[in-house]
Amino acid sequence: MKKDKEQEVLLRWRMVLGKFSSGKLSLSLSARQRKMEAALDFIYSREYAGRGIWKGAKQQGTLDPSQLTVPSWIKEIKKLFPEETIKTIEKHALEKYKIKEIIEDKEILKNLEPDFDLLKMLLTFKGHLNRDVLDEAKKIIAAVVEEIKRELSRYVRQVLSGRLNRLRRSNWKVAHNFDWKNTIKKNLKHYHREYKTVLPETLCFFSQVKKTMPWEIILCVDQSGSMLESVIYSSVLASIFSGMPALSVKLIIFDTSVVDLTAYIDDPVEILMGVQLGGGTNIGRAMMYCEQLINYPHRTILVLITDFCEGAPPRVLYNSCRRLVEAGVRLLGLVALDEDVHPVYDKEITGNLSSLGMDIAALTPKELTQWLKNVLS
C-alpha cells in the first residue's frame, strides 16, 4: 500500500517536471501516462526554453507518441484530462505561453470550450484574425456573451422589476374615476326609445395617475486594454437595461475619441466586435459629450467606467463633473465593473471627483444593479 502511494507521488512529480526528469524519476509509464506526459510537455516544456534550459539539446530516439501539433494536442487533452484541468491548461496556453495557433486556425477554435477567458483572448487578438477564423471567433463570442446575459438578466430583472413596475400606469378604470358626462356624450347615438335611456357601449374614466418621466441611464465606458472585462459587462448590462420598462439607456465608448453605440445596444456581440482596445484616454471629452445627451438631469444616472488615468488635462473632466452635479445628475464612477474588482486606478483624480460629488466604487455587475435599485427607490 505504501509503495503504491510512493509510486503515485513519483508519477505526479514526473508529470510536473516533464520527460527531462526521466533520468532521476525512472518510472514504467503506461501508454496513457506517456500520452499525458507528452501533452503536458507540449505546453510546459516552453518553460525550460524560456529559461535557456535544454535549448538545442540533442535527444535520443524514444518510444514517445508522434509529435503533436496544436489541433492534435487539443483533441488529446480533451481525451486525457478532466474538464477543470483542461480549462487550466488551455488558459496557460493562451495567456502564459501565447500559442497563437489556437486563435489562428478555425478547426482549433471549433474544439475549444467557450468561456470567459477565451472570450477575452479573442477580443484582444481579433484584429489579427483572418476572415474564416473571425467568423468562428464571433460564434464563440456570441455563445459566451449569451451565457453571461442569461445569468445576469434573471438577477437584474428580479432586483429592478419591482422598482420599475411602479412607474407604469395603474388600473384607473374603477368606479370613483367614472366620467359620466363624457360617457353620455359619446353614447347619445345609442339612445333607446323604448327604455327612454342611453345604453352605453363605451365607458369613459378620468385618469388620476400622474405621468412619470422615465429614468435615463448613460453608460460611458473607457475602452483601454486594462478595462476589457468592464467593457464586456457594460455592453451586456446595457442590453439588459434597455429592455426594461421606464428606463432609457445610452452606451458611449471612448478613448481619445468618443463613439455613441446606443443604436447597437441590443446587440452586445456587435459592440464587442467593434471595440478597439488600447490607445490614449480623454475622459473629459467623453463626459462633455454625455452632457449633450441629458434631457432631464434629475432623472438621469451617468455611470462612468474607467481607470481614471486621464491623458488630457483633468480640468475639463472636473468642470464637466461639477456642472452635472449642480444640474442634479446622479454620477457614479466605476474603477472596475467585473467579477474580480481588483482595479488599478488614479487615486488623485478619483479623490478629486469624489469631493465634487461623484460616487466612486469598484463593483460587480450585481452590485451595480443593487446600487441602481437604491437610486430608483
* Mean per-residue pLDDT, 162-182: 57
Report the C-alpha gap between 236 and 268 in whole angstroms.
6
Does residue 262 share a domain with residue 192? no
Average pLDDT over residues 238-246: 90
The residue ranking higher by pLDDT, 49 or 233, is 233
Distance CA 277, CA 247 (A): 29
Q: How far apart are CA 335 and CA 359, in angstroms?
A: 11
Q: Which three cell numbers stand for residue 161?
A: 422589476
With respect to residue 6, please indicate whether it lies within any of the assigned structural domains: no
Give pLDDT, residue 54.
45
Q: Report whether 290 contacts 321 (CB < 8 A).
A: no
Could you tell me if 330 and 258 lie in one domain?
A: yes
pLDDT of residue 164: 55
- Read off the pLDDT of each residue in 333-338 and give the average, rounded to a whole number: 93
Instruction: Quote the CA–CA distance of 333 and 349 in Å, as a whole number.
Output: 11
Indicate whether 232 belongs to any domain. Answer: yes
59 lies in some domain:
no
Same domain, 261 and 187: no
Q: Got the DSSP string for 336-363?
A: EESSS------HHHHHHHHHHT-EEEEE
Residue 250 shares a structural domain with residue 368? yes
Place of cell 427607490: 377
Indicate whether 217 and 364 sit together in one domain: yes
Read off the pTM. Answer: 0.69
91 inside domain = no
Same domain, 231 and 371: yes
Looking at the structure, do residues 216 and 365 belong to the same domain, yes or no?
yes
- Asked whether residue 89 is assigned to any structural domain, the reply reads no
Cell of residue 16, nine digits = 510536473
Report how far residue 101's alpha carbon sits from residue 56's, in angstroms, rounded to the nearest whole number. 23
Residue 188: inside a domain:
yes
**Are residues 181 and 304 both part of a single domain?**
no
Both 177 and 300 in one domain: the answer is no
Task: For residue range 250-277, list pLDDT tens digits in order.
Answer: 999 999 999 999 999 999 999 999 888 7
Confidence category of residue 85, pLDDT binned at 50, 70, 90: confident
Between 346 and 103, the higher pLDDT residue: 346
Predicted confidence band at 175 (pLDDT cuts at 50, 70, 90)?
low
Q: Which domain holds residue 319?
A: 212-376
**331 and 233, same structural domain?**
yes
Please indicate whether residue 349 or residue 208 has the higher confidence score (pLDDT): 349
Final residue belonging to a domain, choices 208, 232, 266: 208
CATH number at 349 reads 3.40.50.410
Q: Is the pLDDT of residue 15 over 80?
A: no
Q: Which residues pair with 247 in a beta bridge?
A: 215
Residue 328 lies in a domain: yes
Pair 283, 228 in one domain: yes
- 58 band by pLDDT with thresholds 50, 70 and 90: very low
Distance in angstroms (rounded) separating the CA atoms of residues 344 and 226: 9
Average pLDDT over residues 299-318: 96
Percent of the chain with pLDDT over 90: 40
- Domain identity same for 348 and 365: yes
184 is a domain residue? yes
Q: Where are the alpha helices (DSSP H) in the chain?
A: 2-17, 31-50, 70-80, 83-91, 106-111, 116-125, 131-165, 180-186, 228-242, 268-274, 283-293, 315-327, 347-356, 365-376
pLDDT, residue 133, reads 87
pLDDT confidence of 60, banded at 50, 70, 90?
very low
Read off the pLDDT band of 44 (50, 70, 90): confident
Amino acid 129: pLDDT: 81
Output the CA–CA distances (angstroms, integers) from residue 110 to 95, 132, 208, 365, in the order listed: 19, 12, 59, 29
Q: Is 106 exposed, middle or buried (0-12, 13-18, 19+ CB in 10 A)?
A: middle
Cα(40)–Cα(97) distance, rounded to whole angstroms? Answer: 13
| Count of domains forming the chain | 2
